[in-house]
Amino acid sequence: MRFIRIEENGLSVVFRIRDCGIVELERFSPAWGDGESADVKEKQWEDYHPLAEIQLTGKTSRRTPAYKHCFSSASYDLRYDRHEILEEESGKELRIFLETEYRMKAVYHMRFFDGVPVVQTWISLSNEGTEDLGLEYVSSFIYSDLCGDGSKKYYDKTDIYIPRNSWACEVTWQKCDAVDLNLSELGVHGFNINSGDNRNRFAYTGHSSWSSCEFLPMGYATDRETETTYCFQIEHSGQWHVEYGSYSDNTLYLALSGATEIEHGWWKNLAPGTCFESVPAAFGVVKGGLDEASAALTEYRRKIRRPNADDEKLNVIFNDYMNCLMGDPTEEREIAMIDKAADLGCEYYCMDCGWYDEGFWWDRVGEWMECDKRFPNGLKKVYDYAHSKGMKMGMWLEIEVMGTACGLADSLPDNWFVCRHGKRHIDNNRYLLDFRNPEVRRYCRSVVDRLIREYGCEYFKIDYNVTMGYGSDLDSDSCSQAIREHYDCLYQWYDEILRDYPDLVIENCGSGGMRMDYGMLKRLSLQSTSDQTDYIHNAYIGCNVASAVTPEQAGMWVYPYEDDREHVIFNMVNGLLLRPYISGMVWKMSEDNLALMREGIALYKAIREDVRQAVPYFPFGFHRYTDSQLAYGVHTDEKAYLAVLTPRTDRAEIPLSFDRNVKSVQAIYPSAADCTFGYENGVLTVQMPQEACGRLFRFDFE
């Protein structure tokens, strides 16, 4: 028996190579402290736990798995050949080469990033034999000893955080004990499970082409005994699957993957001479709780994303949609809004939907030509006016769709669109373009090139308000595989645009936060976090969202629609520690309240360098919609900022556990804070002037 041991970036990672050649991920934990042995005590597993799970058509399962993805026999067929550790620019990459007797070969990849206790993993498969191989399940990552350290059984000490997501109430975490999720040998009711073979699992899944419609493709799990927390994400915008379950030897596994046959009807033919690569996943572990795990995942996300100037500067954007023009633009209205945006100090102006049609534009999108009735002097006049005010100009596109009333759609062949059973798939009067078709990609690129060339567009808000359902049955091994191929082509399309226009800013909007994932966000600089129109409800999203997206990528609406001081302040505080999207009914604001908005934007510009470098912290943990007081912050080594919001009370008491001494505390927004506060014994107490208030605080460390 041999081992591969890597101690890197605060992680202790150990692979065991069994005498038969099966490779297992034996240990993934925080690195040992000084004075402790780095030798790993061998776990007496009763079963093999292969480092990858692969189910092939025609191959049996190793036992009765129910719906679990942990007993595929093809995984036993993969045997160790060799491994290598490469020194890459960002850190090390481990590659483990595996092969079978029938010449299916695999490479297991684990990439480390300097200074970050999170790795990226995926597996590459190739068929070097003479027979087709049908893929039904391929794990991107599986670890078979989650919460396995310490003296207690995992089910006595494991908390699992479920990342529930929904339209206009995004990032709503639910904390559950492992027993409550039926992940115990005793079952949820405490009965012994016959023969010790627990067939239960807890799983959540991304369906269709909205990656975060019901759940975010990520998660956290905490070991209460050892005070360690695991974090993970799946980096794809299509279908994905997260699964917790137990083996017969009472160990807890976590399996991450893209689409599966059981959950999505996915199937891929791996023909001789072809290759397949799983979607990438990330996995990390830290000593500590949610704050430490969120900080690690934040730093990892910064490592993997495309370097871009927008995420360095954190430009302030005015968008004319939410609680503002609401998709009804005209030349006159846009000129008036541009004046307001420039006066407030915004740096980009984004014209949202409706600019291409005079009436109900929803089902006529797809040609992307300006509407003469809305812009009698041409859209270029609006662009030039924004530029004359010192702002860069952008516009809304929903590039992956065509409306059913779009004349162009009628003239195009069906293979431009997602189809099933001989018909085009229609979702709410929209056809879905299929980016696997190179003609589709060329047409969509011509739209982008024209808008940049003719108008000087420097910012695109790319929306995605409908989904492709089960996928397409045209020219693919399965409908689900067509979704995967569509996204592979869409990613390449974005990569080529950003290669040719490196200063272009692209916002990722999926009907708000319905496509919030790091398949997109490793490429695009901004994420729309919600379509929520109520500023109080928006605060609950804002105080959780940095768990899912880096603070500087999290576009948060600041959209006052009442001419009231505390209403304006609350809106502003929602966005100051994220990326504020300025909007709202600014034409009805008094000069005093416009001054409050200008002050907030100026403050954001003063602190955004800190926001860019900071990591998030959550004094109360993740918030629920029943909470009466909210708090969310970011911190660097020298200082911390804290947004305090009181939607259902006028008083807040916030426990803070900084690992350094606080030298001073200031209320920094608004400058005339008119609230009473004190900081003592690690607790910030704030008395607001009324219910439904927000204030921003700064802590300086010694």
Burial class (CB within 10 angstroms; exposed 0-12, middle 13-18, buried 19+) of 429:
middle
Overall average pLDDT of the 376-397 stretch: 98
Quote the pLDDT of residue 36: 44
Q: What is the mean pLDDT of residues 116-142?
A: 98
- Is 87 a residue whose pLDDT tops 70? yes
Question: Is residue 692 within 8 Å of residue 595, measured between CB atoms?
Answer: no
- pLDDT tens for 200-246 read 899 999 999 999 999 999 999 999 999 999 999 999 999 999 999 98
Q: Tell me the C-alpha distance between 668 and 499, whole Å.
A: 40
Mean pLDDT of the region 402-427:
97
**In sequence order, what are the residues at sequence separation of 6 or more whose Cβ sits closer than 8 angstroms to the Cβ of residue 334?**
320, 325, 351, 382, 385
What's the pLDDT band for 72 if we cut at 50, 70, 90? confident
Instruction: Report pLDDT for 247.
Output: 82
Q: Coil, strand, or helix at residue 209?
A: coil
Average pLDDT over residues 188-199: 54
Specify burial of residue 42 (Cβ count, 10 A radius: 0-12, 13-18, 19+): exposed
State phi, psi for 242 to the nearest 5 degrees. -115, 130
Q: What percent of the chain has pLDDT over 70?
A: 96
Here the tokens at position 573 are 């505080």
What is the residue-wise DSSP string for 83-129? Answer: EEEEE-SSSEEEEEEEE-TT-EEEEEEEEEETTEEEEEEEEEEEE-S
Instruction: Work out the pLDDT band at 38, boundaries 50, 70, 90.
Output: very low
Among 90-104, 171-185, 470-484, the minimum mean pLDDT is found in 171-185
Confidence of residue 667 (pLDDT cuts 50, 70, 90): very high
Task: Pick the range with the lowest mean pLDDT from 97-101, 189-193, 205-209, 228-232.
Answer: 189-193
Whether 686 shows a pLDDT value over 50: the answer reads yes
Give φ, ψ of 472 to 5 degrees. -120, 140
Q: Which residues pair with 108 in a beta bridge?
A: 96, 123
The 10s digit of each residue's pLDDT in 392-405 is: 999 999 999 999 99
What pLDDT sits at residue 65? 82
Cβ–Cβ under 8 Å, residues 314 and 308: no
- Residue (of 332, 279, 13) closest to 135 by Cα position: 279
What number is the average pLDDT over the span 655-665? 94
DSSP output for 136-192: EEEEEEEES-TT--SSS-GGGTEEEEEEE--TTS--EEEEEETTTTT-STTTTTTPP
d(CA 590, CA 569): 13
Of the candidates 276, 295, 278, the residue with the CA atom closest to the CA atom of residue 287? 295
Distance CA 140, CA 149 (A): 23
Least confident of 60-74, 279-293, 673-687: 60-74
Q: Is the pLDDT of residue 361 over 90?
A: no
Specify the pLDDT at position 62: 82
> What amino acid occupies position 254?
L
Is pTM, for the whole model, over 0.85? yes
Nearest Cα neighbor of 278 from 571, 500, 91, 52 is 52
pLDDT in tens, 507-521: 999 999 999 999 999
**pLDDT for 43 beyond 90:** no
Average predicted confidence (pLDDT) for the chain: 95
Dig out the tokens for 538 from the structure: 């928006």
Residue 45 has pLDDT above 60, yes or no: no
Query: What digits encode the pLDDT tens for the residues 137-158?
Result: 999 999 999 999 999 999 999 9
Supply the pLDDT for residue 359: 85
d(CA 544, CA 537): 12
Q: Quick check: 109 and 94 in contact, CB under 8 A?
A: yes
Does pLDDT of 187 surpass 70? no
Nearest to 205 by CA among 69, 71, 331: 69
Cα–Cα dist 362/40, whole Å: 60
Which uninterrupted H or E stretch holds 697?
A: strand 693-701
Return d(Cα 464, Cα 209) in angstroms, integer: 10
Mean pLDDT of 124-139: 98
Q: State the pLDDT confidence band at 37, using cuts at 50, 70 and 90.
A: very low
What is d(CA 315, CA 685) in angstroms, rounded to the nearest whole number?
33
Instruction: Say what the pLDDT of residue 200 is.
Output: 83
Q: Report the pLDDT value the prediction gives residue 35, as an integer from 0 to 100.
A: 38
- pLDDT of 214 reads 98
The residues, ordered by sequence, that sit 6+ positions from 339 with a Cβ below 8 Å of its Cβ are: 389
User: What are the two backbone dihedrals, phi and then psi, of residue 312, each rounded to the nearest 5 degrees?
Assistant: -90, -45
CB burial of 659-681 (b: ≥16 within 10 Å; e: otherwise) equals: eeebeebebbbbeebebebebee
In SS3 terms, 597-657 reads as: HHHHHHHHHHHHHHHHHCEEECECECCCCCCCCEEEEEECCCEEEEEEEECCCCEEEEECC
Partner residues linked to 159 by β-bridges: 177, 222
